[in-house]
Structure 1
Amino acid sequence: MRMVDLIARKRDGLPLTREEIDWLIAGYSDGTIPDYQMSAWAMAVLLRGMDDRETADLTLAMAQSGDMLDLHDLAPITVDKHSTGGIGDKTTLVLGPMVAALGLPVAKMSGRGLGFSGGTIDKLESIPGFQTTLDGATFRRLVREVGLAVVAQSGDLAPADKRLYALRDVTATVESMPLIAASVMSKKLAAGADCIVLDVKYGSGAFMRTLGEARHLAQIMVKIGQLAGRRVAAVLSSMQQPLGQAVGNALEVREAIAVLRGGGPPDLVELCLVLGSELVVLAGLTQEPDEARAMLQATLANGSAWAKFHAMVSHQGGDVRVIEQPDLLPVAPVQQPLVAPCTGYVATIDGMALGLAVNALGGGRARKEDLIDPAVGLMIQARVGDLVEAGHPLLTIHAADESAAAQVAPALLAAYRFSDQPVAPPALVEAILR
């Protein structure tokens, strides 16, 4: 086989066979297929798509490109959650401890920022000393002893996906639905979780812009998981505005800590309860979603979820003084309000524009090798449906200097649209596919 032929086939909208996909992934994994050819193939997939059979074959090939974890010697059942990415999405930092506090081990491989969307690993690395790269033995020990470990994707787990994941971020191929589905599910299958809940987001702050696209992606991923013998559910959640108030790595860690200590923004709490309830039911702790919800609420009320987060940070080398006193997390030297130009109701917020602004401030990457400033970001004061007065803050820009804040301010202001008439806030959860 020749890679150029597979690129041409996909460019022309023709399907690839399982053997061709296996050959492609094996070659990219061992370095015989270079980045520039894989970039061309990914762009062809973005433009021409893949059918369900190709997507499933790609998923399995990427999952099998490295180790396939079996965690049943540690626990009879393990659970995992994945979000397709959105602005201000820090649910893993809250949901993982909540579920682990109920005795369901969470062995999670998470990613870094992708496109305009932040990554869980970047957020956790805002905590000084926190180790996101662990060897397999240490990872397994933490799952056994703590019941919760969140680490960067191991080089031995779905290594083809790890390379392709980073490549997509810098080649404008993030939005490809087959590549998203295969990337998500290859990691989930390789990481060994028995029960998986998928948070599939749609809206201006998500890669899936419409509810229809999100539903299609969710259906593909649920089908892949079921064919692989896993228990899977998908929650379709709105990203028509940021989740919570914080957008940016250290800012989002602070907000997650606030939820684990019994506070935090209601929408973040609610989404974690919805996602967590699905996991609790999938794992068989109860068959009643309302009972699952009450169990999870109790972990916040009695402090057991916070204790799990504290234990995870401690065992992964993080400075626990920083999470006990969140003001010790990185703080941007400039905090500049962005004020409303008129009086009115907030009609829409362009989440992508907010995410790109955070990237421009230094909170994300334009290239794989870029370093991240954990302190920068945004704190949202005005949300969809809110009545704001002219001159009142819409959000606060957290920047390294005044020049950086001034550069992103026009785009941030353009992200807001206003109405003279009251506007209903968007529903947080649209549907659950089981």
Structure 2
Amino acid sequence: MNWFKSLFRVWRREIRLVFTDIGVLLFFFALPLAYPIVYTLIYNPEVVKKIDTVVVDNCRTADSREFVRNLGATQGFNIIGYASDMQEARRAWMEKKSYGVVEIPADFSRKIGRGEQAVCSFYSDMSLLLRYRQYLFSLTDLQMHEVTAITARRLADGGLLTSTVGGLPVNTQANFLGDVSQGFASFVMPGIVVLILQQSLLLGITMIAGTAADRRRKNKGYDPLDYETGTLATVLGKSLCYLMIYLPLSYYILELIPWMFSLPHIGRFMDFMPLIFVMLLATSFLGQTLQVFVRERESSLLVIVFTSVVFLFLSGLTWPRYAFSPFWKMISDLVPATWGMEGFIRINSNGSTLADVSHYYMGLWALTGLYFISAVVLRHFTSKAHADCQRQGRECAEVSEI
């Protein structure tokens, strides 16, 4: 009973530290509540459409004009006008009036009439790959449409029935799973929100530790808000406090945000919530492991915020993990958000069950055990060091009084 009372006192003290520190409140509440909405609103258009484009038509025939009309009817192209030559088109490009240039050669219609291959040149601004991606998709669709139309025309000229021409000899069809719209927000947000949960929790935990270090410096090694109890009760009491705060936030971020913005969300809450619970538990122990290295309140901002970009790349969201070198794959495996992202995306976007992502689930339990042991061991030694420092401070005070 004494141990459970100590656990409750640690939990109560940690709750007090959280709700009396404006910085921790910002990290624990404002950041998880606001960031998913801000990020999703930024990427809310999902797909880049109707990109301003200039055409240089050196052919000036009915075929070239029809080609330009078909180009403007695609999802990616917005034909803003014709340029007399490439120099004029380049000026429009340099002035950011257009992000692409289509050049139609003078022999475009003649080659089509002869049954030869007609080549059009396309120049794209590569400063944003999303624009180039949409350009490429639209050009591919238009190319297939033009080939079908030309094939039908040649058959008609040969005296064959064109009604039997329904498409290309080889028809391709893409069915995208998870991100059916191929939108950027639907692709990146399910992973980003999991990383936000981890990083905001780590920021708050390390900031609490930095504030406690400041109090010890002011009081000669003694923290007036610390509660002296066993190491195990301290570690578990702190984690209980963090889980109590972050489980409701996880429901908001992972269940309500996709519903608000119509993001892919076909996974069941009862499947991904156990995975997220273990990830939060591992993150709380990781934060308590990092606490012992925090000496100032501001150092949490410098270290944890910097690692956010590193953890994003290590998660496999921007580059597949199977292409990592063994060293970086090992570092990636030590980050709880890596396992949480991969498991959550499979459940949320592809409809997997918890049994289907058991590999990631067990990996998170392994990280939980690893960081729990490290948090307990480091807490034990730092508690002894703080007690020795406090004892020495009291002895020095007694000598000075004598």
Q: TM-score, normalised by structure 2?
A: 0.26
Structure number, greater radius of gyration: 2
The structure with the greater share of residues assigned to helix is: 2
Q: TM-score, normalised by structure 1?
A: 0.24
